[in-house]
Amino acid sequence: MPRANARRQPMPEQDPAKRRHNFLEVALGYTPDLAQAEAERCLQCRRPTCIDGCPVGVEIPQFIAALRAGDLESSARILKNRNNLPAICGRVCPQETQCEVKCVLARKGEPVAIGRLERFVADWEREHNPIRPEIAPSSGYSVAVVGSGPAGLTAAADLARMGHRVVIYESLHQPGGVLIYGIPEFRLPKEIVRAEVEYVQSLGVEIRLNAVIGKLYTLDELLSHHDALFLGTGAGLPIWMNIPGENLNGVFSANEFLTRVNLMKAYLFPEYDTPVHVGRRVAVIGAGNVAMDAARTAVRLGAEEVRIVYRRSPAEVPARAEEVVHAEEEGVIFNFLTTPVAILGDEHQWVRGMRCVRMQLGEPGPDGRRVAHPIEGSEFEMEVDMVIMALGTRPNPLIFTDVPDLERTKRGTVVADERTGRTTKERVWAGGDITTGAATVISAMGAAKRAAADIDAYLRSSARVW
């Protein structure tokens, strides 16, 4: 029987005093007993509103019911029917603002820990009995997928299961996109990403690495070899503040810093020959998940003091609450209502500090968040010797070489239909961060699933109207 009044089962975690010195995964995952106890909290609602909050439409009550019955193979099969990357989503997706916020139990207490159960089932499936879904007979059509991040992998897997030949073109030397270069090992172990990529390949998807679209091939050249094309390259170009001193030694974008550490294994130096500079006093500008990743990485690399510098208040922090708590537990200092106006350098052009100003919040802006305004006469200096900019990203314009018929916004994102992913260029679809700017893994996957469904319908239509 459901235990609606039972407390939500806590996630076992590494002790903060130990984990701040290693890159092992912080969250250790549910034991079978914890997973069973949490699954028993699910009410199995007749109208499961939790599904409404899932961008990929996972049949949440059904996979939890199978888990509760002890049929983990069926639970995994139900889960992977809609989600090609459940072990990843169970770790990094913001379930608290998506499926879990829609849980009936959340109205008066704690929702079912849907993400933690998803992780448990996915990890069991990977270790015991990998699921291989049915694949439709060959359609005879070929689809190019540009980018092997969450959007690209999702679109490729769905299209392969529909019977199409799929080739992924990835610019880096390893597949996974932001999953491999952006998210640290302690939050998403790379063995998990590799396993999910291998699952996609097992469906017949081919992955071509070191294939920089815009240099090696143009989009039109890809279209000459494929019947359709999906753009899922994400948003990997960092945004800067354009303040004095950003060109000083010791100023990094979060993208460069995290790529060196994650993809190029700088945290294992000298085993891997990738050095990375880490200051004694580090300031990370921004308060999203990337900022938390950068700050917590700097802690593990030996920085004596790490600060998050954010222009708004704690209520406006865009990062997951869990990531903020973990950062605080690991000793990260938060400076709210503060923003830098200049980075200061020494005689050798290395960072020696930041000139900052206090902020106050006004009325909500177009995005619904309160606008921050500087307080006159509140300037002060902060002593730091390394600055990491984590202010967001936008799509890299390289991919748009020689494609004037692909409409983009002023922010550089691709204009695409939200329901279908169709762009202004015939036979080209797009989804994920390349259309929205930096967002969540699961929202990119949802967009990719919608685009894959429309690509399939388009290819199989006798009257192809764009």
Burial category of 347 from C-beta neighbours within 10 Å (exposed 0-12, middle 13-18, buried 19 and up): exposed
DSSP label at residue 322? H
**358: exposed, middle or buried (Cβ count in 10 Å: 0-12, 13-18, 19+):** middle
Question: What does the alpha-carbon distance between residue 379 and residue 399 come to, in Å, rounded to a whole number?
Answer: 41
Tens of pLDDT along the chain (466 residues) come to 555 558 999 999 999 999 999 999 999 999 999 999 999 999 999 999 999 999 999 999 999 999 999 999 999 999 999 999 999 999 999 999 999 999 999 998 999 999 999 999 999 999 997 888 889 999 999 999 999 999 999 999 999 999 999 999 999 999 999 999 999 999 999 999 999 999 999 999 999 999 999 999 999 999 999 999 999 999 989 999 999 999 999 999 999 999 999 999 999 988 999 999 999 999 999 999 999 999 999 999 999 999 999 999 999 999 999 999 999 999 999 999 999 999 999 999 999 999 999 999 999 888 788 999 999 999 999 999 999 999 999 999 999 988 999 999 999 999 999 999 999 999 999 999 999 998 899 999 999 999 999 999 999 997 788 8
Nearest to 227 by CA among 306, 125, 142: 142
- Encode burial over 278-300: b for 16+ CB neighbours within 10 A, e otherwise: bbebbbbbbbbbbbbbbbbbbbb
**In this predicted structure, what is the pLDDT of residue 365?**
85
- Phi/psi of residue 260, each to 5°? -60, -45
Q: How far is CA 456 from CA 148, 364, 371, 409, 422, in A?
A: 19, 42, 43, 27, 12
- Tally Cβ neighbours within 10 Å of residue 80: 22
Ramachandran quadrant class, 2 (left: phi over 0; alpha: psi -120 to 50; beta: rest): beta
DSSP string, 350-397: BEEEEEEEEEEEEEE-TTSSEEEEEPTT--EEE--SEEEE-S-EE--G
Question: How far is Cα 389 from Cα 332, in angstroms, rounded to an integer?
Answer: 16
Supply the pLDDT for residue 4: 54
